Amino acid sequence: MSFPPRPRHTTLSPRPNSYAGMGDVLTGRRKQSILVVDDNAVNAVLLKEMLASHGYSAIAVQSAAAAEAEIRREAPDLILLDVVMPGKTGYELCRELKEDSKTRLIPIVMITGLSDREDRLKGIEAGADDFLTKPIYSEELFARVTSLLKLKEFTDELETADSVLCTLGLSVEARDPYTEGHCERLSRNAMDLGRFLGVEEECIVALGRGGYLHDLGKIAVPDEILKKGTDLTPAEWEIMKQHPVTGERICRPLKSLRLVLPIIRYHHEHSDGSGYPDGLRDGEIPLLPRVLQVVDIYDALRTARPYKPALGHDQAAQTMRAEARSGLWDEELVADFFAMLDQRQQVA
Ligand SMILES: [Fe+2]
C-alpha cells in the first residue's frame, strides 16, 4: 500500500483541458444535509434556520427515536446532537451510531453546556467527533460544520476504508501546523525500522498505516487542548489521554487494521508502567507499538514546537538513550533505530 492516497485517473475520464463543463456539475450538487437533534424545540428550530440560511438542507427532530427514524429514511452528512434529552440520551444515540457500520462515518457534533468537562469526556467515550458549547455562536457553528462536512466529502468520495482512515489521520495532523509531514515521516521510518528488524511483511504494512493512524483519536480532542501543547490542566490531560482509545475504537471495525490496533492503543505506554492509557510495563507492550513509539519520539525531538526548539540528530539520540535508560523506552530498540538510520545514511 502506498501513502498518502492518490487521486485516481482512468483512461475513460481524461483530465479536462478546461473547467468549462464544471459549472453544471457544481450547480447540480446536492445540498449537504444536517440533522439537528434537540429536545428543546426553540433551540432545534433556531439551529435549523441558521443552517438553512447558509444553504444546508437541515432537518430538526426532538428525540433520539425520531432521529433514528430520520437516519433510517436518509442518512445525513452531519448530526448536531444535544447531550441531555428525555428517553435515550445523546451519548447513547452517539455510541449506537458509531458502533453501526452503516452510520459510524457520519460526523457527530455533541452540544454541551459551558463548563461540562464531564460531558465532553462522556462524549469522547461515546465516539463524538467534535463539540459545540452553549450558547452557540454562528462563527463557531459554521467553522465546525464546514470542516466536518469537508471531511465527510472525503469519506464519501474515497473508495477504500484504508484510504478513508489515512486521510482522517492527515486531517488530524493538519489541525496542528507544527506537525506538518509528521505522519509521512513516521510511516517511512517505522517501516524501515520494521524491515531492519526483519519483521513479517504484514507487520511492515501495519507500521506504515500506524504512522498515519496512531493519533487518529485526536479528532475528538478540542482545538484549545490540542494546540496548547504543554501545561494542560488535569481535566484537559484526561481528555488528551483518551486519544489512543478513541483511535482504536474508530479503526476496530476494520479487519484489515487488526495489526494496527495495538499500535494505536499502546503508542503512549512506557516501559516503566508510567504511560497511558493502560499503564502497561516493559514485557507487556507489543513490538509494533514500541517501534512506532521510538520513531515518534525521534520525530518529536527533531521538530520545533512553540514551547521548544528542534534538537539536532546527535542531541536527539543522546536524549532518547538517556530516557530509555531511565525506563521510558525500549533501550534495545532505540539502539536498533539509530543503527538503522546509520545504515540508511551509508546507503544514500
Ligand atoms: Fe499520540
CA distance 204 to 35: 41
Residue 37 has pLDDT above 80, yes or no: yes
Residue 13 has pLDDT above 70, yes or no: no
Instruction: Please give the mean pLDDT across all residues of the chain.
Output: 84
Q: How far is the CA of 283 from the centre of ligand 1 (A)?
A: 21
Cβ 161 vs Cβ 147: under 8 Å: no
Q: Taking the alpha carbons of 163, 165, 169, 174 in that order, is the dihedral positive or negative? A: positive
pLDDT one-digit tens code per residue, 276-323: 999 999 889 999 999 999 999 999 999 988 778 999 999 999 999 999
Cβ 148 vs Cβ 129: under 8 Å: yes
Buried b (16+ CB within 10 A) or exposed e, 290-299: bbbbbbbbbb
Most confident of the following: 23-37, 123-137, 183-197 = 183-197
CA distances from 45 to 4, 90, 154, 346 (A): 41, 18, 29, 66
Q: How far is the CA of 182 from the centre of ligand 1 (A)?
A: 12
Q: How far is the CA of 267 from the centre of ligand 1 (A)?
A: 6
Q: Which amino acid is located at 39 in the chain?
A: D
Q: How many CB atoms lie within 10 A of CB 167?
A: 17
Q: Rounded to the nearest 5 degrees, what angle is found at the Cα of 193, between the Cα atoms of 307 and 251?
A: 75
This prediction's pTM: 0.56
Q: How far is the CA of 47 from the centre of ligand 1 (A)?
A: 34
What length is written for the chain? Answer: 348
Q: How far is the CA of 299 from the centre of ligand 1 (A)?
A: 12
Q: How far is the CA of 305 from the centre of ligand 1 (A)?
A: 16
Helix-, strand-, coil-residue percentages of the chain, each rounded to 5: 55, 10, 35
Q: How far is the CA of 280 from the centre of ligand 1 (A)?
A: 16
pLDDT the model gives residue 306:
75
Q: How far is the CA of 215 from the centre of ligand 1 (A)?
A: 5
Q: How confident is the model at residue 345 (pLDDT cuts 50, 70, 90)?
A: confident
pLDDT one-digit tens code per residue, 96-147: 999 887 788 899 999 987 567 787 888 888 999 988 888 888 888 998 899 8
Cβ 129 vs Cβ 155: under 8 Å: no
Residue written as grid cell 467553522: 143
Q: How far is the CA of 298 from the centre of ligand 1 (A)?
A: 13
CA distances from 158 to 9, 129, 144, 244, 335 (A): 13, 19, 21, 24, 39
CA distance 294 to 214: 13
Q: How confident is the model at residue 86 (pLDDT cuts 50, 70, 90)?
A: confident
Residue 27 has pLDDT above 50, yes or no: no
Q: How many CB atoms lie within 10 A of CB 187?
A: 24
CA distance 7 to 345: 32
- Of residues 309 and 22, more confidently modeled: 309
pLDDT one-digit tens code per residue, 160-189: 666 667 777 777 777 766 667 888 899 999
Q: How far is the CA of 135 from the centre of ligand 1 (A)?
A: 31
pLDDT the model gives residue 320:
97
Return all residues near 103 (Cβ < 8 A) that are at least 6 apart: 71, 75, 97
Q: How far is the CA of 213 from the centre of ligand 1 (A)?
A: 9
Strand partners, 109: 80, 130
Ranges 18-22, 319-323, 342-346: which has the least confidence: 18-22
Cβ 110 vs Cβ 133: under 8 Å: no
Q: How far is the CA of 54 from the centre of ligand 1 (A)?
A: 36
